[in-house]
């Protein structure tokens, strides 16, 4: 296949939602129907011993939540699908925001009983900023749920986007019968003895077929009335408006029971966009350009506990990536060859010879790469929109075991490169301060330091309200600021100056008294 065909058959998307809406369960079922796995795992279940494919870290299995984004690629009906399963918990939102820079479309999962929740609203804001096309999957209809029309109204109001149902549920709760596929115009029922496999009987019947009663009575008339109302209220589905991020197709189902998942997948591969243009400081990049460009949007340490390796996730934006071919690492100016680039299935990796725009490639990293790094065939480019946000919670980190000083230093160094948290060194006393977006991150760091690096740490409170990066063209004012605020100054991991304001009042006062100093709340400036 030539480059153009390879790009057109790729679909790279993220699955996002509020915690517990069923994101990881949906990912498992998409992998199952796509033939990538033969038995679906569960996030937390006593009966099902197999864990979810995408939750591969030990702490994820213990807590039953996703802590890091995982990447899974598979082929379905001659389409190459790359799924990024993101953490739903707000304490890991930064990982999710960065992941959204690497995808072409998004599926939002909503719990049918709870409707739109806080984290869903925040994630939708990020999608709106980038005009990312969005699909909605309303999950858990096998449990008592809100009325489908009420849910659609809620999505329009809360997420500020027009909707168009492309599937419709037949009843909800204990009497839930399945889903009518509006896009394919058929009643699609899936019967499987075992919910963990995709082997089962499948029935496709049209709405006007009398045989439909056999499967969905006594809800046949209700379904016909609902569908008439749907066609009357909602405009026909418009592909262009969906791809511009103006309208969201909505699907209903129960990921746990395999209902509605195949309809979602079949429609997704037909309407979701293939890779589009990317933006750099210098120019826009078209995916069909022949020269390679790509950027690192995530780094994960110790993906394989046996090797203690670090993997950088490279999103390919244009051209063809080839193994053993030298590429320019723009920040360092060095040419680098990759002998063993990998494709992902969560923590399982396989070496690949080539990859195309839309693909996510794993690169072995010995500590040279940072989030946001660009790779090209010689051109000086810098991709935009991969920020680190100013942390909101802060703690001193101290060594809990003097014999393990080296392990702790290495562990902190590598975990901070992942972007899970940020490290500041106080100018006043040289103590290390960790800043995170959410409280759960401190536990994750402590757990991973102990179990992956054999280092024990403890935290101590520190009074910091906000960290902001500071810079100025007025040297005299900057020197004065450094002297007056010496107790609150720190350096970040890359040696940039950071002002650690202890209260909101102190920050406002500093901004007022030093007008020539720029205070930045994200690291991208």
What tens digit of pLDDT does each residue of 325-368 get? Answer: 999 998 889 999 988 888 766 445 678 888 899 888 888 887 78
Mean pLDDT of 479-502: 90
pLDDT band with cut points at 50, 70 and 90 for residue 229: very high
- Token pair 């679906």 is found at 40
Fold for 278-376, please state it. Answer: Rossmann fold (3.40.50)
H/E element, 71:
strand 70-76
DSSP state of 9: T
Q: Place domain 13-69+88-96+104-271 in its CATH homologous superfamily.
A: P-loop containing nucleotide triphosphate hydrolases (3.40.50.300)
Beta strand extents in 145-213 (DSSP E only): 162-165, 167-170, 178-181, 186-191, 201-205
Beta carbons within 8 Å of 120's beta carbon, 6+ residues apart? 16, 17, 18, 21, 108, 110, 158, 159
Domain boundaries defined on the chain:
13-69+88-96+104-271, 278-376, 393-520
Fold for 393-520, please state it. Answer: Alpha-Beta Plaits (3.30.70)
Amino acid 352: pLDDT: 81
pLDDT beyond 80 at 191: no
pLDDT beyond 50 at 65: no
CB 524 within 8 A of CB 384: yes
Beta bridge partners of 259: 254
Phi, psi torsion values for 294, nearest 5 degrees = -170, 165
Q: Same CATH topology for 13-69+88-96+104-271 and 278-376?
A: yes
pLDDT beyond 50 at 49: no
DSSP state of 91: G
Amino acid 301: pLDDT: 66
Beta carbons within 8 Å of 403's beta carbon, 6+ residues apart? none
CA distances from 480 to 17, 63, 465 (A): 46, 48, 22
pLDDT beyond 90 at 248: yes
Q: Say if strands 10-17 and 79-85 run parallel, antiparallel, or are unpaired.
A: parallel
Q: Tens digits of per-residue pLDDT, 71-112?
A: 778 888 889 988 887 764 454 556 667 778 888 999 999 999
Measured CA to CA, the distance from residue 195 to residue 241 in angstroms comes to 36
Measured CA to CA, the distance from residue 427 to residue 488 in angstroms comes to 8
Q: How many CB atoms lie within 10 A of CB 512?
A: 8
């Amino acid at each position: 296949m030539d480059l153009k065909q390879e790009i057109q058959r790729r679909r790279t998307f993220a699955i996002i939602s509020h915690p517990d809406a069923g994101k990881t369960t949906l990912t498992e079922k998409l992998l199952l129907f796509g033939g990538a796995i033969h038995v679906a795992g569960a996030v937390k279940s006593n009966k099902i011993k197999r864990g979810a494919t995408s939750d591969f870290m030990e702490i994820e299995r213990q807590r039953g939540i996703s802590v890091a984004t995982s990447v899974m690629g598979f082929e379905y009906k001659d389409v190459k699908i790359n799924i990024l399963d993101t953490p739903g918990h707000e304490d890991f939102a930064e990982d999710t925001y960065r992941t959204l820079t690497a995808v072409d479309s998004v599926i939002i999962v909503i719990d049918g009983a709870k409707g739109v929740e806080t984290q869903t609203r925040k994630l939708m804001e990020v999608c709106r900023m980038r005009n990312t096309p969005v699909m909605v999957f309303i999950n858990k209809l096998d449990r008592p749920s809100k009325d489908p029309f009420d849910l659609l109204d809620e999505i329009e109001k809360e997420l500020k986007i027009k909707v168009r149902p492309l599937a419709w549920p037949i009843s909800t709760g204990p009497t839930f019968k399945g889903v009518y596929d509006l896009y394919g115009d058929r009643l699609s029922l899936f019967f499987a003895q075992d919910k963990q496999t995709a082997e089962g009987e499948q029935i496709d019947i049209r709405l006007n077929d009398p045989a439909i009663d056999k499967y969905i009575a006594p809800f046949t008339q209700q379904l016909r009335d609902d569908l008439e109302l749907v066609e009357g209220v909602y405009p026909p589905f418009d592909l262009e408006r969906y791809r511009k991020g103006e309208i969201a197709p909505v699907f209903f189902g129960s990921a746990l029971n395999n209902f509605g998942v195949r309809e979602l997948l079949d429609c997704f591969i037909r309407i979701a966009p293939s890779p589009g243009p990317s933006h750099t400081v210098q120019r826009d990049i078209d995916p069909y350009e022949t020269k390679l460009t790509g950027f690192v949007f995530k780094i994960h340490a110790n993906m394989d506990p046996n090797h203690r390796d670090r993997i950088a996730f490279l999103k390919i934006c244009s051209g063809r990536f080839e193994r053993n071919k030298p590429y320019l690492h723009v920040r360092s100016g060095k040419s680098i060859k990759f002998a063993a680039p990998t494709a992902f299935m969560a923590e399982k990796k396989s070496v690949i010879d080539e990859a195309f725009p839309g693909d996510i490639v794993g690169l072995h990293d010995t500590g040279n790469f940072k989030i946001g790094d660009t790779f090209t065939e010689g051109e000086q480019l810098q991709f935009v929109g991969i920020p680190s946000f100013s942390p909101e919670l802060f703690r001193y980190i101290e060594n809990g075991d003097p014999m393990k000083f080296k392990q702790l230093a290495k562990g902190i160094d590598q975990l901070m490169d992942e972007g899970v948290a940020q490290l500041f060194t106080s100018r006043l006393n040289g103590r290390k301060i960790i800043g995170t977006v959410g409280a759960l991150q401190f536990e994750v760091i402590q757990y991973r330091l102990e179990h992956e690096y054999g280092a024990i740490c403890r935290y101590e409170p520190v009074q910091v309200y906000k960290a902001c990066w500071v810079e100025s063209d007025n040297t005299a004012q900057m020197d004065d600021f450094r002297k007056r605020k010496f107790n609150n100054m720190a350096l970040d991991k890359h040696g940039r100056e950071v002002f650690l304001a202890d209260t909101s009042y102190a920050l406002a006062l500093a901004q007022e008294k030093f007008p020539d100093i720029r205070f930045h709340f994200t690291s991208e400036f």
